[in-house]
């Protein structure tokens, strides 16, 4: 269909606006354009309406020619706009992602909240971004959102900035040009986070860029740029110069980076400083796993122990040196360090060092992780466990297992068991250690040695949990990151997982559950009655053992007073029937804690109507004084509102 007459009529009417209405009767070009448009009027109702308006406009008897002219122009403009297009020759193809970005066909209702969360201020922003990151929403890659994520690295609300940083580190090297574009070496925390994302994605690949930043970088950016030099061994000599020339935090950053270098001049600098100021130098070397650094720590620690064995008391300065050097053994697995471990784990030397006394005459003790004080042998045991979880230490694991195999000494059982879990198949571990946990009978008891063995094994199992994302068992320990000045989690995969026979054994009613053990990242599950035994098992729940652990936890609900705490492990085991559990909890304890009841009913898989009935049941037990509210706190009005809301949801679901 030829629409040229449409455009000509529109052009003539626009000229009429300029020339004036009085000249319409004499405008022969307009009349000719109307005549040429006439054939189109039968093709579409809107064209017919335009034609009628044009004829009315040309009629001399029309009184409101101005209004008719504007109506015709409005209709013509609307039709012309619908015909607009921009294209080139060729086949259509989806827009290719560039720099981590892509075009995502997302509605305004999804894009707008994210845009606001990344650019505005106020509450609720973090939760919007967190949910998008958690579900790995593709919208975050949209070209309208992605630049805002980089901008958010400088958000004044640090939680949002850190969340954006965490997401960007998963986006691949394709985003590096965007991160480097517009980078301000004199910028603040936002630029530091940009640099940290580049470090995570590119490591040594961007070494020249890191070094170029130092020409202009100031304050925080300079500190981070210096630390980024740690990835490239060729930076060793340059870092030595920076250690000598920089001051304050910039010098500290150079030291942290230098700890990753193995060049002779770098190790020589550390050796000199360790001899001069060991307590101040060792913390910088703590996180390094380089063999050269490991040898230096082994040498310094051996010399320190030799000095202490030649004296009766330990000064505060010597105590600080010994403590920091033991800390610095973290993840060190060189030959020299393992020779030293073999000596330190000798029972006679351990006993000798356990007998060291501080200046006040009391036995020398080390305060670690809030403990009341550990002897040398206890502190050494913690250091070994920290090392094999923090880094891959095959030599140390082999050393420990060889020492244990030589004498089967109970003091080495926990270390050997942990090392075996990290280096052997699950069948081998079970064969070597499964028999150490004894079942009891009417006459046969586990005895002192059996109890010690059980608690040692449970101690290591308490460090293990199932990682749902990786679908692996992981051993976990806390470690202190001196540079970040915060505690972090180290995690190492068990080589072969855990044999199912462990769970059959540990859930056997004839296995003693007494004694307290530590659990990593504790939820305080029924600690008063089980000493964390059940919590150890809770952390070990996996899809493979739910059929064993689920019935066990349900039996514990029936056996224990604090039974309500078991809803978490039961949910983890896929348990669905929780009816009667709340009544049993209230009846056994004689009092109920509002928060426990609320958390229980929020979490368990019950229908809304059933949850309302459970609330009403507890309400009735309190009103009739069958049970008491703990501390007298029971917000009845709030609970009634909750019941009404649950009933309303249940009714709406029924209607659907």
For residue range 408-463, list pLDDT tens digits in order.
788 999 999 999 999 999 999 999 999 999 998 877 888 899 999 999 999 999 99
For residue range 230-269, list pLDDT tens digits in order.
999 999 999 999 999 999 999 999 999 999 999 999 999 9
* Interatomic CA distance for residues 180 and 191, integer angstroms: 10
For residue range 135-154, list pLDDT tens digits in order.
888 888 888 899 999 999 99
CB 453 within 8 Å of CB 435 = no
* Interatomic CA distance for residues 388 and 422, integer angstroms: 8
Type and span of the H or E element at 574: none
Q: Which letter does DSSP use for residue 101 in this model?
A: B
Q: Which residue has the higher pLDDT, 434 or 523?
A: 434
Per-residue confidence (pLDDT) for residue 236, from 0 to 100 = 95
Per-residue confidence (pLDDT) for residue 1, from 0 to 100 = 63
Is residue 530 over pLDDT 50?
A: no
Is residue 42 over pLDDT 90?
A: no
- Chain centre distance of CA 404: 37
This prediction's pTM: 0.79
CB 582 within 8 Å of CB 617 = yes
Phi-psi category of residue 630: left, alpha or beta, with phi > 0 → left and psi -120 to 50 → alpha = beta
For residue range 281-315, list pLDDT tens digits in order.
999 999 999 999 999 999 999 999 999 998 878 99
Query: What's the rounded mean pLDDT across residues 361-373?
Result: 80
Q: Which residues contact 610 (CB under 8 A, 6 or more apart)?
A: 579
Position 529 confidence tier, pLDDT thresholds 50, 70, 90: very low
Per-residue confidence (pLDDT) for residue 526, from 0 to 100 = 47
Per-residue confidence (pLDDT) for residue 527, from 0 to 100 = 42
Q: Which residue has the higher pLDDT, 301 or 654?
A: 301
Per-residue confidence (pLDDT) for residue 444, from 0 to 100 = 83
Is residue 317 over pLDDT 70?
A: yes
Query: What's the rounded mean pLDDT across residues 533-542?
Result: 93
Domain boundaries, the chain: 4-82
Query: What's the rounded mean pLDDT across residues 172-186?
Result: 93
41 three-class SS: helix
Which residue's entry shows tokens 């069948």? 427
Per-residue confidence (pLDDT) for residue 516, from 0 to 100 = 83
Position 531 confidence tier, pLDDT thresholds 50, 70, 90: low
* Interatomic CA distance for residues 140 and 133, integer angstroms: 8
Per-residue confidence (pLDDT) for residue 475, from 0 to 100 = 97
CB 176 within 8 Å of CB 201 = yes
Radius of gyration of the chain (CA): 37
CB 552 within 8 Å of CB 537 = yes
């Amino acid at each position: 269909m030829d629409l040229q007459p449409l455009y000509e009529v529109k052009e003539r009417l626009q000229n009429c606006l300029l020339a004036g209405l009085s000249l319409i009767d004499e405008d022969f070009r307009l009349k000719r354009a109307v005549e040429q448009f006439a054939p189109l009027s039968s093709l579409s109702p809107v064209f017919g309406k335009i034609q009628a308006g044009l004829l009315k406009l040309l009629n001399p008897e029309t009184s409101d020619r101005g209004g008719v002219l504007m109506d015709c122009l409005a209709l013509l403009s609307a039709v012309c706009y619908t015909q607009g297009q921009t294209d080139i020759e060729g086949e259509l193809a989806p827009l290719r992602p560039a720099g981590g970005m892509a075009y995502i066909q997302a509605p305004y209702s999804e894009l707008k909240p994210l845009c606001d969360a990344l650019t505005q201020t106020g509450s609720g922003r973090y939760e919007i971004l967190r949910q998008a990151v958690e579900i790995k929403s593709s919208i975050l890659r949209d070209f309208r959102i992605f630049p805002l994520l980089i901008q958010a690295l400088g958000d004044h609300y640090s939680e949002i900035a850190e969340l954006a940083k965490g997401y960007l580190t998963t986006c691949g090297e394709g985003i590096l040009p965007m991160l480097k574009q517009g980078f301000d070496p004199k910028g603040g925390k936002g630029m530091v986070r940009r640099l940290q994302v580049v470090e995570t994605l590119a490591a040594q690949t961007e070494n020249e860029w890191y070094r170029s930043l130092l020409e202009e970088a100031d304050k925080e950016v300079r500190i981070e740029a210096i630390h980024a030099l740690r990835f490239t061994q060729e930076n060793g000599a340059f870092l030595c110069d920076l250690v000598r020339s920089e001051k304050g935090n910039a010098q500290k950053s150079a030291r942290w980076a230098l700890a990753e270098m193995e060049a002779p001049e770098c190790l020589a600098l550390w050796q000199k400083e360790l001899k001069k100021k060991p307590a101040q130098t060792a913390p910088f070397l703590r996180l390094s796993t380089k063999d050269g650094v490991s040898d230096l720590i082994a040498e310094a620690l051996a010399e320190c122990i030799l000095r202490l064995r030649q004296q009766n008391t330990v000064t505060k300065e010597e105590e600080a040196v010994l403590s920091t050097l033991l800390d610095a053994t973290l993840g060190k697995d060189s030959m020299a360090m393992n020779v030293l471990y073999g000596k330190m784990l000798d029972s006679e030397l351990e006993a000798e060092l356990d007998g060291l006394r501080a200046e006040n005459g009391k036995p020398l003790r080390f305060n670690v992780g809030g403990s009341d004080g550990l002897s040398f042998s206890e502190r050494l045991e913690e250091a070994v466990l920290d090392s094999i979880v923090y880094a891959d230490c095959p030599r140390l694991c082999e050393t420990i297992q060889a020492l244990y195999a030589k004498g089967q000494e109970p003091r080495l059982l926990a270390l050997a068991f942990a090392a075996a879990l990290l280096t052997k198949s699950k069948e081998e571990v079970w064969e070597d250690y499964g028999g150490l946990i004894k079942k009891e009978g009417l006459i046969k008891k586990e005895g002192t040695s059996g109890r010690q063995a059980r608690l040692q094994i449970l101690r290591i199992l308490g460090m293990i949990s199932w990682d749902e994302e990786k679908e692996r068992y992981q051993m976990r320990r806390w470690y202190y990151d001196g540079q970040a000045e915060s505690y972090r989690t180290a995690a190492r995969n068990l080589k072969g997982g855990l044999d199912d026979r462990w769970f059959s054994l540990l859930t056997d009613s004839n296995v003693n559950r007494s004694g307290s053990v530590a659990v990593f990242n504790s939820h305080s599950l029924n600690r008063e009655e089980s000493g964390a035994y059940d919590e150890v098992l809770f952390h070990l729940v996996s899809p493979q053992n739910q059929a064993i652990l689920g019935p066990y936890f349900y039996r514990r609900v029936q056996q224990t007073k604090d039974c309500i705490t078991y809803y978490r492990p039961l949910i983890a085991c896929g348990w669905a029937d929780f009816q009667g559990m709340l009544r049993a909890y209230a009846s056994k304890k004689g009092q109920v804690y509002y928060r426990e009841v609320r958390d229980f009913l929020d979490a368990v898989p019950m229908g809304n109507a059933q949850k309302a009935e459970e609330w009403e049941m507890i309400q009735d037990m309190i009103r009739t004084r069958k049970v008491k509210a703990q501390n007298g706190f029971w917000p009845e009005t709030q609970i009634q509102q909750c019941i009404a809301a649950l009933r309303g949801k249940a009714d709406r679901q029924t209607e659907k």
